[in-house]
Chains A and B, each alone.
Chain A
Amino acid sequence: MFEGIAASKGIGIGKIKLIEECELKFVPKHIDDVEKEKLRFENALNKFKKDTAESAESIRKNIGEKEANILEGHIAMISDPAMNSKMMEIIEGGQCAETAVDTVCDMFINIFSQMEDELMRQRSLDISDIKTSLIKILLGVENVNLSQLESGTILITKDITPSMISQIVKDNVAGVITEIGGTTSHAAILLRTIEIPTVLSVAGITKQVKDGDVAIVDGNDGVVYIRPEEELLSKYKLKREEYIKKKIELKELVGVETHTKDNIKLKLYCNIGTPKEAKTVIESGGEGIGLFRTEFLFMDSNHLPSETEQYNSYKEAVDLLSDKTIIIRTLDIGGDKDIPYLGLKKECNPFLGYRGIRYCLGNIDIFKIQIRSILRASAFGKVKIMIPLVTCVDEIRAVRKIVEDCKQQLKAEGIEFDKKIEVGCMIETASASLIADILAKEANFFSIGTNDLTQYTMSVDRGNQNVTYLYSAFEPSVIRSIKNIIDCAKKQGIEVGMCGEAAADELMIPLLISFGLEEYSVSPSLALETKSVISKWTKKEADELADKVLKLSTKAEIIKLLQEYKK
């Protein structure tokens, strides 16, 4: 078994085709005929632009517009006056074109790879691709033709470039293995888009294999088997079938309403941390946003984000969601989340300290900016305000007063907002759960945050290795707490959702269906699976199982029973 980086999901089984590329080494030469060398460089440049445009066109046809644009960006980069003139200068100084390309590309790779911004750092990968292609052309190394591979090929190569992938006929390639590369490279993105199982960065793999060897590529776990035993091979063939079956099942669920087996309609929402993710929510079958964390706005900035900055972010998400619900959680800092410029003091007991709504009510000026921004964005869609870490009724009353003040201000300024905007609570503390009946009279909705609810109910710091064994949402106390919260919400007739990890847990879902949870908010990558689990249960089956679970005394018994009944 060889380990690498899982870069594209799925399981591939097939025969190896090893692509051995010549080393792109060159000996730097001194050039006497500068004009001739310049011409050689320009010819290489033109060939690069022509090849790249062709690859981009092929990618546009077979993979997608966005992926093609990335490759076309390479043409813009190499045509850049700064890059071009620096290369020319080096050639004019009497050095060969290879040295010019190598030096200038390395200079930019160096600059970009040190940038703080992740998107900018990725530009160094573009330049690295450009450099490889250009030097290949200069050295006269022909690209291997990958368009004629036999069906069921496992492609093994030292490194794979976007232009190589543009030649691949998807149905013929069962998997890809390389010696170098990471998950954020363009090649990895392309392989994920065309869904070819891929494991990258498998050290020394090209030296371990020969053409025709059978190989297994496990893109889920990032492992590779060469010449596997018959037993392992059958095991993986089964795994592959299951994976494909599940993938097809899940794809059929995009755009389908979320409902139980006996057709009780439920809501499947997603949790997001940046406005851009709102797009992935729609793509992955989410019907709204149950938790929009706003901390990113404050954490990614070196100053307090202004009303305009916040408004722009919230509105971007609202626009992407069009008429779907979006629940915006107000700033939830403190605890383990620090923001340097706010000057929070270090606390001995941060999880029991100045965090969540406590901080906001102590810094009303900061809080009002956020409330005004959310209100302004609410004019364009279905926005709700959610308060984190509520422990008593006074907190929700105080927030309501601030929201009213902000509404009055906006009205006076002639700015639009949703006059009926709902204000709800996260229920994630033991106290909030115990007074859920009281809170339900004053909040428009509840959302259960199971991560903190478990932590506070079990009195366990989930970061502390010595006590994490106690941290489980399947503890009888946590399950009772969840049931109580849902009961209280239903009695008062307000909507109740869950935005913690438990909402996507296949063992927890039947209990939630039985208790009557209406809205499940999960990470976009788990949306379809959650939808699929929900669709397998009827209310009656869930009720029978829940009755049994509520009679059990320990977490271990509960999990064992839920495992047995798992669908």
Chain B
Amino acid sequence: MVSKVIKITDEQGLHMRPATLFSQAMAGFKSNVQVKHNGKSYDAKSVMMLMTACIKCGDEIEIVAEGSDEQDVLNKAIELFENGLEG
């Protein structure tokens, strides 16, 4: 299992569009990926669950991946958040 804490810098937080892009990217991997926010865990491959998490700008989230390609999926997640999810 691998994990990393990330701070959300997008002013809009994790809204519909960034959440869709993120969950679609995560769905391409085999590993189970969870987003932890305020003590709760959400399926990173589900845009609906991610939106219910109500993740705002400035919030910290932890991305936890477990499975055969866990390091790859974690790296991808970090890359997406660092480059901004709007584009």
Contact = CB atoms under 8 A, between A and B. Distances in A.
Asked if A and B bind, the verdict is: yes
Interface of A: 73, 76-77, 80-83, 108, 111-112, 115-117, 119-120, 123, 301, 303, 309, 312-313, 316
Nearest to B43: A82
Contacts of A112: 51-52
25 contacts: A73-B16, A76-B20, A76-B24, A76-B47, A77-B47, A80-B49, A81-B27, A81-B45, A82-B43, A82-B49, A108-B48, A111-B52, A112-B52, A115-B54, A116-B54, A120-B51, A120-B54, A123-B16, A301-B58, A303-B58, A309-B11, A309-B58, A312-B11, A313-B11, A316-B11
Contacts of B23: 80
B3 interface: no
Contacts of A82: 43, 46, 48-49
A108 B49 CA distance: 9
Q: Is the interface on chain B under 10, 10 to 19, 20 to 34, or 35 or more residues?
A: 20 to 34
B48 A83 contact: yes
B2 to A, nearest CB: 22
Given A81-B43, A82-B46, A303-B58, A119 B20 contact: no
Contacts, number: 48
A73 B43 contact: no
Contacts of B58: 301, 303, 309
B41 to A, nearest CB: 12
Contact of A108 (B11, B43, B52): B52
Contact of B48 (A80, A301, A313): A80
Contacts of A116: 54
Residue from B15, B16, B24, B43 having most chain A Cβ neighbours under 10 A = B16
Interface in B1-45: 11-13, 15-16, 20, 23-24, 27, 43, 45
A371 to B, nearest CB: 21
A160 to B, nearest CB: 22
Contacts of B47: 76-77, 80
A76 B46 CA distance: 10
Contacts of B13: 117
**Best-buried of A73, A76, A108 by chain B (most CB within 10 Å):** A76
A423 B42 CA distance: 48
B16 A81 contact: no
A81 B12 CA distance: 24
Nearest to A116: B54
A81 B45 CA distance: 7
10 smallest beta-carbon distances between A and B, as pairs = A82-B46, A80-B48, A82-B49, A82-B48, A111-B52, A81-B46, A83-B48, A76-B20, A80-B46, A80-B47
Contacts of A301: 58
Contacts of A111: 52
B40 to A, nearest CB: 13
Contacts of B54: 115-117, 120
Nearest to B19: A76
Contacts of A120: 15, 51, 54
A332 B19 CA distance: 34
A312 B84 CA distance: 13
A556 to B, nearest CB: 48
Nearest to A275: B11
A106 to B, nearest CB: 13
Nearest to B10: A312
Contacts of B16: 73, 119, 123
Nearest to A127: B48
A289 B16 CA distance: 29
Nearest to B46: A82
A144 B45 CA distance: 36
Interface centre among B13, B16, B48 (most CB of A within 10 A): B48
B13 to A, nearest CB: 8
A77 B48 CA distance: 7
Interface in B28-87: 43, 45-49, 51-52, 54, 56-58
Contacts of B15: 119-120
B46 A73 contact: no
Nearest to B49: A82
Most chain B beta-carbon neighbours within 10 Å: one of A81, A108, A119, A316: A81
Contacts of A81: 27, 43, 45-46
A312 to B, nearest CB: 6
A123 B11 contact: no
A80 B26 CA distance: 12
B44 to A, nearest CB: 10
A83 B23 CA distance: 13
A309 B54 CA distance: 19
